[in-house]
Amino acid sequence: MTIKARKAGRRAPAGSGRAARSAGRMAAVQALYQMDLAGTDVTDVIHEFTTLRFSADAETPAEEGAEPAETTAAGADAAFFAELVRGVVRRQRDIDPMIDQQLALNWRLKRVDSTLRAILRAGTFELIERQDVPARVVINEYIDVAHAFFDEDEPKVVNGVLDRLAKRLRVSEFEGKQQRAPEPEPEAEVPDGEPDPSSGA
């Protein structure tokens, strides 16, 4: 039930700490998607990913013109991945209303595509709790994750929602950068997604 990346995102050099975290973010989005749709327990999904998907031979490189690999999780930072997944589950009651407030009028997170929902939740968690990671890095990383799954407007939605949340949650990082009056940002247009059949997600 893991969502497949349609294409590889921009990736840091293999073996770098940045690449391991980027892979951890991608895996966290896939795990959150799996939990959302299949109702998998958080402990079980973390165990599945860390034992079956994170080894160097868990991912077979796709030949030219072939379908992309199911996951880009090989070499992921397992501790960072687990922190993201557990953190989203722990803070979901705080995270979801924050995202709802940033979506276009008459849209709610439960109506958004499941993959996009997982991306927004993981990105919002990092903005809230990982103050050591600059907001711009968080935003760019999740835009990159969105590009791996979507070809249309979803990366713009991720950019718009996370940027507005970052300016609310990380005020000090944006002070001095808005000396001139900023133009009002349009509300993010949310692409059609399937309704969420469960009321708890």
Q: Is 9 exposed, middle or buried (0-12, 13-18, 19+ CB in 10 A)?
A: middle
> Six-digit token pair at 57?
């031979």
The answer to whether position 31 is within a domain reads yes
The answer to whether position 25 is within a domain reads yes
When divided into structural domains, the chain yields a total of: 1
At residue 114's C-alpha, the angle toward residues 155 and 195, to 5°, is 115
The answer to whether position 58 is within a domain reads yes
The answer to whether position 56 is within a domain reads yes
For residue 49, the 8-state DSSP code is I
Question: For 150-200, where are the alpha helices, taking DSSP H only?
Answer: 154-169, 171-174
Domain range for 31 is 17-170
The answer to whether position 11 is within a domain reads no
Q: Which pLDDT tens digit goes with each residue over 93-145? A: 999 999 999 987 667 777 889 999 999 999 999 999 999 999 999 999 999 99
The answer to whether position 178 is within a domain reads no
Between 140 and 198, where is the model more confident? 140
> Six-digit token pair at 129?
């709790």
Q: Which pLDDT tens digit goes with each residue over 40-52? A: 899 999 999 998 8
pLDDT for the residue 47: 94
The answer to whether position 3 is within a domain reads no
What is the CATH number for 34?
1.10.940.10
The answer to whether position 184 is within a domain reads no
Between 65 and 168, where is the model more confident? 168
**Confidence check: pLDDT of 56 > 60:** no
Could you tell me if 126 and 133 are in contact, meaning their C-beta atoms sit under 8 angstroms apart? Answer: yes
